[in-house]
Structure 1
Amino acid sequence: MSAIDASETSTSKEMTFAEKQAERMKRLRTLHNARNEARTHNHQEVVAEEARNKLPANYEAKRRQAEWLLEDQKKRDESAKEGKDYDRVKLLNVSAIEAERLERKKKKKNPDQGFSTYEQATVRQYNRLVKNMPSADMELYEQQKQKYGDAFYGGPNVIIHGMHKDRKEAVDKMVDDLEGQIAKRAKYSRRRTHNDDADIDYINERNAKFNKKLERFYGEHTAEIKQNLERGTAI
């Protein structure tokens, strides 16, 4: 009987060891899976952070502004379908103080202070052209947004060349706008008397006008430099 009891006890101990071994292996596999999951998650976070760092500083602000414009346009369309004046409906939720502040801001926006620099003139022209742009096609916007997904907003690792195809109507509008700008500039230009004795420092008529503008605004500040260059005494 003692030999049988010893055999049963040995078998019981072997089963207990096997169960412990299986439990240890199970815990080891769990730890391995957790480590791999953490490693994958950390890698994704690093990639996402690197992508965010490469974005422009005002990327989030621009995206929020675009979303606000879309929502505002959607509400405007809904008000138009209901036959309501969206501006009046919108003002119902604005206090008198806020409305007065917005009105003052609108009057001060883009004031014409005359010519200061060519950079400011370019900015004013850009703002004027943007203001005269036609209303956006929101249906097409939503279709493209669904079609391109994350690539719709672009990014440092996104190649968008060839994804968007310009419509013929949009190209025609751009051409008409450019032709209108050219016609407008032609009305304000007048041919001046050509001086045969003047120095030729231009390559065409447009460049000559540009050089005259530079001379008119900056000539007095660069006169001494030009004289030194002509005499060969410039440092």
Structure 2
Amino acid sequence: MNEARKANQSAMVAEKKRKDGPQESRGISKQKWLDERKKKIGKLLDANGLDMKEAYMLDTQQVAETKYKKWEKEPAPAGWDVFNQKTLYDAHKKRTKKIDVDLEEYNRMKEADPEFYREASSLQYGKAPKVSEDKIERMVKELRDKDEKRNAFSRRRRFHEEKDIDSINDRNEHFNKKIERAFGRYTLEIKNNLERGTALPD
């Protein structure tokens, strides 16, 4: 009886091993795939003289567009998310939407300058082309508008500094507001008398 049980157990173990097979035989493991991908990206970055933070520069246009589409589906930012890459990109898009591009002038400038897209080895590297006055004015106007908008923005304040404090905590403040709403007009004279010190004793 014991021999039969042992034989059955060993047959079961062998069958399980056959069924499962080695871990790698089903396909490459996720960790191994990630490691290989990192190595591959690392080689590409080294070849282009970039570090890991600049890995996004290897993305194609399609990959970048899919990333941005994913970002667009997310809800509005809150808290520290205001400073993340998506929000900064959205702000950039919003600002550049107002810019009018003159393609004729752009093409003219490109034809006039053989090194319009300069490389690091160019002798004219760092030399900026002449910018017309109206473009500078447009940029200044955009910056001023931005400043005005920022100055005009006002968040609703919870506390009014001019108002007298007549509560001990938030709950009490809420209760006092309710009481004031209901009975404020009836108790106004009594309040004023108490503040002036002219209230008559009973």
Fold conserved between structures, TM > 0.5: no
User: Which of 1 and 2 has higher RCO (CA within 8 Å, sep 6+)?
Assistant: 1
Choose between structure 1 and 2: higher helix proportion: 1
Query: What TM-score results when the alignment is normalised by the length of structure 2?
Result: 0.38
Query: What TM-score results when the alignment is normalised by the length of structure 1?
Result: 0.33
